[in-house]
Amino acid sequence: MSTDPRDALAGLSVPGIAEITATLVTEGTFTPPDAEPYELMGLPRDVETPPFYRVQAVAKPSADSHINIEIWLPLADWNGRFCQAGNGGYGRGFFVPAAFMIPALRRGYAVAGTDMGHPRTTGYDASWALHHPEKVVDWAWRANLVTAEFGKLVTARFYGREPQKSYFLGCSDGGREALIFAQRYPAMFDGILAGAPAISFTSLALEHIAHARWMSESNLTAAKLPAIRKAAVAARDAQDEAAPDDLTARPYTFDPAVIACTAEEDSPSCLTPAQVEAVRRIYAGVTDPATGAVIHPGPYPGSEAEWAGLMGEQPGGMGPTLFQNIVYGDSGWSLADFDLAKDFAAKREAAALIDADNPDLAAFNARGGKLLMYHGLADAAVIPQRSIDYLGAVASCLPAGQKTDDFVRLFLVPGMGHCIAGADGIAAFDALSALEQWTEKGIAPDSIQGTRPEQFLFLGYNVTAAPPAPASSLLYPYPKLGGRILSAEGASAKGFVRNDAPSSN
């Protein structure tokens, strides 16, 4: 590396990459791009970083592409590794990637991220996709692939040598993006950390729509969700005397009828008969109305606090916008138009492009790749059972004598919601160090120390740094939870639906 690190990239020209700029960041604080939401969450907009070299570029793999890329290269103490961060939702600009990039940069990684080809979205907005199929391709997979290729090239040129190991980190849609690499581009990353992966993104969208419809039709409001959760936790604790608190495994049985209203009442503390049935349907997941086969599993009892995300200003969560802007190309499509059999069949082309549900990881395994997955048991935005089912499907693809836990491990996190670490559950754990040890030294993670953080930790920060005090617990790979073996229910290829349409009524 020259005295002025910018010399290493002088004259860099890469086909399809334009507008390459480079700056030195030597101050103690740095404002990441698209940082405005941090303030809304009560987090500092400016963050502490070591001095680094910031490379910004625009990739244009198609005539309708405009993919922004950020690559941050530490000026001192590079650890010899490259790390790429995933995004979230339908694309959060650099708001989500930066949350993984910053803690990895502090650990000495060369880091990269992308806005996935369109400006930062809020909520579940995918209007950028309407009649822009190339932008959909960029978001689905191409932006991440272009970023990985360019990021590795820049890193090697800057330091004068290839990264010794490369990692991809992501949660939610970032978890889906992580699995895309393991499935379609297995040679790109040595270690992959996939949190709460939206594996079957398009089927999950259908589930969000169905749940919103059921809650609306039964007049189930957010005011009743605390009562459901309280009853669910009580049922769970009654069946799990070994750890009687809100962090135990999901209940083996919970019937919301235990808080059914009497004939004369209807209050926030009870459920009407229609609401009891709606809650039962939500837990059961979305099923084929003709055969009863599970299209997408439902959330576990204890996740009810997150059901509110399917109500309010954007009922149906990520579902309606997928069908409006990507599947049907009709911005007027609404929840009222939902037809399970028709919509499941209609999304097949989008599913082939977007979903990360291919369980054949033979190529990734053969080249020595390691995949560490984690999923909060209280997650209702992306369903943990889907991760369990995917693990079983991977196992079904392996030849005799090979085991999934040789290269794939799933950690279920009691009390953790969707990706982030709040005060309600174990949600801070150093998954990145565990993945490093496994990938580089062959030390498989049999447990990871986790804790309930005292303060809110945004995604990325909670899984890339040592967990803060106070008291900690051990997380174990599935099928263990709290040191005990869980039922193997769901841990097989059975019921793992990919792109097969359900029967019509």
What is the pLDDT averaged over residues 319-338?
A: 95
pTM for the structure as a whole: 0.93
Q: Mean per-residue pLDDT for 281-290? A: 88
- Least confident among 7-21, 166-180, 409-423, 480-494: 480-494
Provide the percentage of residues in the chain whose pLDDT is more than 70: 89
What residue spans define the domains of the chain? 1-156, 164-200+355-505, 203-353
CATH 3.40.50 is right for the domain spanning 164-200+355-505: yes
pLDDT at 1 over 60: no
Q: What is the sign, positive or negative, of the torsion defined by CA atoms of 435, 439, 443, 446?
A: positive
Structure tokens at 505: 């009524």
Which pair of structure tokens corresponds to residue 410?
A: 């799933």
The candidate with the shortest Cα–Cα distance to 477, out of 437, 447, 436, is 447
pLDDT of residue 105 exceeding 60, the answer is: yes
* pLDDT attached to residue 12: 84
Instruction: Pick the range with the lowest mean pLDDT from 139-153, 349-363, 489-503.
Output: 489-503
- Report pLDDT for 118: 96
Average pLDDT over residues 253-276: 92
Phi and psi (nearest 5°) for 371?
-120, 115
pLDDT at 492: 43
For 399, other C-beta atoms within 10 Å of its C-beta total: 6
Chain segment 174-189, per-residue pLDDT in tens: 999 999 999 999 999 9
Which pLDDT score, from 0 to 100, does residue 505 have?
37
pLDDT reported for residue 27: 77
Question: For residues 66 and 104, what is the distance between their CA atoms, to the nearest angstrom?
Answer: 26
pLDDT for position 147: 98
Res. 407 pLDDT band, cuts 50 70 90: very high
Residue 53 has pLDDT above 50, yes or no: yes
* Residue 36 banded pLDDT, cuts 50, 70, 90: confident
Q: Is 479:249 a contact under the CB 8 Å cutoff? A: no
More confident residue, 426 or 401: 401
Mean pLDDT, to the nearest integer, of 442-455? 87
pLDDT computed for residue 482 by the predictor: 62
